[in-house]
Amino acid sequence: MHLIPAGPVDDGLLRALGADLEARAGLQWCVGEPMPLDPDWRTQAGMYPSSALIDALIASGDDKGRGRRRPWRLAIADAGLCAPGVGPVFGEAEVGGCCAAIGLQPLRHGSGADADVLRGRLLTEALHELGHLAGADHCGRPSCVMYASCDIADTDRKHAGFCDDCRGALKWRGLRES
């Protein structure tokens, strides 16, 4: 799995996420080639369309992994993301594919959002998006990592883990929980 900084992103935070994903889900990871945030993508509200990041990840990996399973690539942007018809989002994934994106800016909001809280929220949202890459849909259990976060309180309420039903539904592709 490749963690891709989209624009300037704290390298220590990326490495902490990688270590957390390895410890929590057994994922082998590396920090991949940085990708720019194209200023033309920026909306009037100052956010970036999550689909633009995913499309750029897909385009940058077209020649990689042919004839074998393509590695997952997760873009992390220190920005707010949005999706058409939805508005602001914490992240988005190419369901069953190989690419996903997360925006850090909304994870910094709310009470007690220190470095440890940000790290926990980032892990929760990364597991959520990786769950989509592994084929999981949204879950109705507020404590499950696959629950759809409408606000930061939803993210804080859920655990960085899959409920039994979601765990059983995943196409594991190397994703496990310890």
- Catalytic residue at 129? yes
Q: Could you tell me where the DSSP H helices lie in 26-136?
A: 50-60, 115-133
Amino acid, res. 126: A
Q: Which two tokens stand for residue 112?
A: 């007690």
Q: Centre a 10 Å sphere on the Cβ of residue 132 and count the other Cβ atoms it contains.
A: 20
Token look-up 């942007």 returns 77
Q: Which of 94, 125, 129, 177 is catalytic?
A: 129
What is residue 145's DSSP assignment?
A: T
Helix, strand, or coil here: 157? helix
Token look-up 């190989």 returns 98
Token look-up 């633009």 returns 52
Which residues are known to be catalytic? 129
